[in-house]
Amino acid sequence: MTSKKIKILSEHKAYYSSPIGTIEIVASELGITSLNFAKDSLAKSSSVHSCLKDVLVQVDEYFKGKRRKFSLKLILQGTDFQKKVWRELLKIPYGKTASYRDVAAAVGREKAARAVGNANRLNNIAIIIPCHRVIGSRGELVGYGGGLWRKKWLLEHEHKFNADKNKRK
């Protein structure tokens, strides 16, 4: 697969106030290009463009424990290897984790755990592409652009709602 540059004519932003900080979401009519923690916690959206409404609903459902998998159109911007890693991260189930080594093996590059870590670091669509579910080979929490405290919160959040779901069966 070759890397294609997608020309995005106009991007729109929205902000979501989550329990772990303000999230800035950037999208176009083609899909989501970015979802990251905003540096300015007071960022507000005056009006929300229609291309952002579904993502805001799904992110809200995620934080309320009602959504375990996102169904949104994503615009991945990176190298072929990075895109391969990000697609693999989408396969890690809600409430579960995988090691950098596991992801490297899954993309056919067993010795590329550090490269997987770098691809995670460059993931521009946090939470939806769940790089927070990738941990060290000994089960330790390592590396998260939003801060390890957020990674821990996200994993505990998913574990809690996974446990609640399993109790109801």
- The mean per-residue pLDDT over the stretch 74-85 comes to 97
- Mean pLDDT over all residues of the chain? 90
What percent of the chain shows pLDDT beyond 90?
Answer: 76
| Alpha-carbon distance values, 167 to 2, 37, 83 (Å) | 45, 32, 36
Provide the pLDDT for residue 152. 97
Tokens of 37: 């923690």
> Is 131 a residue of the active site?
yes
Q: Of the listed 85, 131, 134, 154, which one is catalytic?
A: 131
